[in-house]
Amino acid sequence: MCKLERDIEKQQPVVGPGDRKTAECCGGICVLLSVIIGIITLGIGVSMIPDVEATSGMCNITNVTYPTSIPTVPSKINENFVNCDCGRECTSDIGYCVGVFVEVNSEIVMAGRFSSTTPETQCTFSEDKCFNKEDLASRMEAIQEAEEIARPYVEKMNSSELIECFLHNGVVFLDNNADEKIQLVAILGSLSFVALLLGVCCIRKSGCCNE
pLDDT above 60 (res 17): no
Q: Are residues 80 and 97 in the same domain?
A: yes
User: Three-state SS for 199?
Assistant: helix
Q: Are residues 155 and 65 in the same domain?
A: yes
CA atoms within 13 A on the CB side of 211: 6
pLDDT above 50 (res 9): no
Q: Are residues 74 and 102 in the same domain?
A: yes
pTM for the complete prediction? 0.72
Q: Are residues 189 and 132 in the same domain?
A: no
Mean local confidence (pLDDT), 190-196? 91
User: Per-residue DSSP letters for 112-179?
Assistant: BSSTT--TT---SEE--B--STT-HHHHHHHHHHHHHHHHHHHHHHHTT--EEEEEETTEEES---HH
Q: Are residues 101 and 187 in the same domain?
A: no
Mean local confidence (pLDDT), 146-170? 93
Q: Are residues 145 and 193 in the same domain?
A: no
pLDDT in tens, 36-86: 999 999 999 998 888 989 999 999 999 999 998 877 766 666 678 888 887
| Least reliable range by pLDDT among 82-96, 115-129, 168-182 | 82-96
Q: Are residues 81 and 102 in the same domain?
A: yes
Q: Print the domain residue range for 114.
A: 56-175
For the chain, how far is it from start to end, CA to CA, in angstroms?
21
Banded pLDDT at 19 (limits 50, 70, 90)? low
| Least reliable range by pLDDT among 72-76, 107-111, 169-173 | 72-76
